[in-house]
């Protein structure tokens, strides 16, 4: 259901359920989680790409097919957290940058998956929507992540009306970073990856951690956190190498430490 490939320094995770529009169930979510978790232990892995199979859908959200394995709304009171919540927490804590390759439409829980990624490159034909109200529901587990990515008034409109937006509007709202025609999607993704992979892995790890930490702090708390972190960051080997390389006018040789 989930295809995992290590392409040099990048781990590709593909939801391979094209016939079900790459919908999520417990097994799919567990396999995505394992692929993300193990990527951090792969020597030389610097980034993760998350995508869907085909060109129709990045992810259609929860699999609502009757009898679907790991049905999204099944209740198991022995588990204190839902499997999708576990995945979102894992993605937030992952030290590697996670890039969404939005190969097609993104609906319902798929929007939560998109927002849990750190950056996104989308095909121009993609539509993004939360149509849950059309079946008597509203987005719930995906809402905390969406609130941190999508402007509030637009998000409320999307959640209550269930109407999707196109990729150009998603770009304007900052939901995705870059757009490309379908046939140029991978080239645009490689363009973005190239601008990550030549940077300090240590700086990227610290930067992602600081971003998520400060986002939920007051300004005063953020400043206190920053003045502690800046000295720790400056003491890393990558920072020292970067400063030397800048002074010597040469490319830095990162060690990731």
Query: Among all residues, which ones are annotated catalytic?
Result: 132
Q: Can you read off the two tokens belonging to residue 238?
A: 């990558």
- 226 three-state secondary structure: helix
CA distances to 4, 98, 103 from 113, in Å: 17, 11, 13
In our burial notation (b when 16+ CB lie closer than 10 A, e otherwise), range 24-39 reads bbbbbbbbbbebbeeb
- Do 46 and 11 contact (CB within 8 A), yes or no? no
Query: Sign of the C-alpha dihedral, residues 161, 162, 163, 164?
Result: positive
CA pair distance 173, 3, nearest whole angstrom:
31
């Amino acid at each position: 259901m989930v295809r995992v490939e290590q392409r040099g320094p990048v781990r590709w995770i593909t939801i391979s359920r094209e016939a079900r529009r790459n919908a999520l169930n417990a097994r799919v979510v567990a396999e995505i989680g394992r692929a993300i978790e193990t990527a951090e232990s792969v020597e030389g892995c610097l980034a993760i790409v998350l995508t869907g199979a085909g060109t129709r859908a990045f992810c259609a959200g929860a699999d609502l097919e009757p009898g679907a394995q790991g049905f999204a709304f099944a209740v198991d009171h022995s588990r204190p957290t839902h499997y999708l919540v576990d995945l979102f927490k894992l993605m937030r804590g992952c030290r590697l940058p996670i890039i969404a390759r939005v190969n097609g439409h993104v609906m319902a829980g798929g929007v939560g998956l998109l927002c849990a990624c750190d950056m996104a490159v989308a095909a121009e034909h993609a539509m993004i929507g939360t149509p849950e109200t059309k079946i008597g529901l509203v987005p719930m587990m995906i809402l905390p992540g969406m609130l941190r990515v999508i402007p509030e008034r637009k998000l409320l409109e999307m959640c209550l009306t269930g109407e999707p937006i196109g990729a150009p509007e998603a770009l304007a709202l900052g939901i995705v970073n870059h757009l490309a025609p379908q046939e140029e999607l991978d080239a645009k993704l490689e363009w973005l990856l190239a601008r990550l992979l030549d940077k300090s892995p240590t700086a990227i790890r610290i930067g992602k951690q600081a971003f998520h930490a400060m986002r939920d702090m007051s300004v005063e708390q953020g400043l206190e956190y920053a003045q502690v972190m800046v000295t720790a960051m400056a003491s890393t080997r990558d920072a020292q190498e970067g400063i030397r390389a800048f002074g010597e006018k040469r490319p830095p040789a990162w060690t990731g430490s």
